[in-house]
Amino acid sequence: MGAGSSDKASYDFTRYQTLDGYVTDLLNLLRALDVSQVVYVGHSVSGIIGVLAAIQEPALFERLVLLAASPCYFNDGDYLGGFEPADLEELLSLLKRDYHAWAHAVVPNLIGGEMRPDLLDEVLNSFTSVDPDIAQQFARATFLSDYRTILSQVQVPALIIQCAEDSIAPPAVGQYLHQHLTDSTLHVLNTMGHYPHLNAPVATIASVERYLASLPAVSATR
């Protein structure tokens, strides 16, 4: 909700103050589709939304595939989330002052590597199409969140796909997820950026296929 071609008039600033609103949306969607035991693939913050949903309704999920996901984006003691808190606040302040300037400054760094120009434009267009007020609230709900303490509650097995160089979710974050998700597998891809499925789609797909092929309980039709 609030991104892409979703009905922006339906966006509720109270509902989406935290990621909980998106978690409810995901669970409602799965119930409406009358599906269960899904293999859920979530990129970045959507990965954590899937984690939170799987904690609430584990029976709906068979596996989680987390692409460059992070439970916490700021450094805290020995935890290296990628940002110092002061730098994160400065980044969010720029977003508030001039969202389009923020998007043009941040997106190339998010992409990393050597993404095709048309894909870079696609990602940039997806960012700039979001209403600035919605983008500001979503960014704060994402970057200031800290879900490290709930990871031990996840019962659903997970595949963690991590880029070798990612300024948003650095390698230490993938290791942290692997250490704290009880039944997890970590695959580190030799690529840069925060979008493994765009920067290295063949390697990303192969990683997912290898993981699912090793789990006979997962249906190939899902």
What would the two tokens of residue 167 be?
Answer: 């300024």
- Give me the residue spans of the domains in the chain: 8-213
Give Dmax (Cα) for the chain: 51
Architecture in CATH of 8-213: 3-Layer(aba) Sandwich (3.40)
**Could you tell me the two tokens for 142?**
């994402």
Judge whether 80 and 170 are in contact, CB under 8 Å: yes
For residue 202, the number of C-alpha atoms closer than 13 Å in the C-beta half-sphere is 1
Residue 176 has what pLDDT? 98
| CB within 8 Å of 34: residues ≥ 6 apart | none
* Separation of alpha carbons 128 and 105, rounded Å: 12
Stated length of the chain? 222
Give 83-121 pLDDT, tens digit per residue: 999 999 998 999 999 998 888 888 877 777 666 778 888
Tokens of 90: 């400065």
- Mark the ranges of the chain whose per-residue pLDDT is less than 70: 113-115, 216-222
The pLDDT, as a whole number, for residue 220 is 43
Please answer whether residues 196 and 204 qualify as being in contact, where contact means their C-beta atoms are separated by less than 8 angstroms. Answer: yes
pLDDT value of residue 124: 87
DSSP letter assigned to residue 14:
T
State the DSSP H helix or E strand holding residue 42, giving kind and residue range, or none if neither. Answer: strand 38-43
pLDDT of residue 5: 82
Active site amino acids: 44, 166, 194
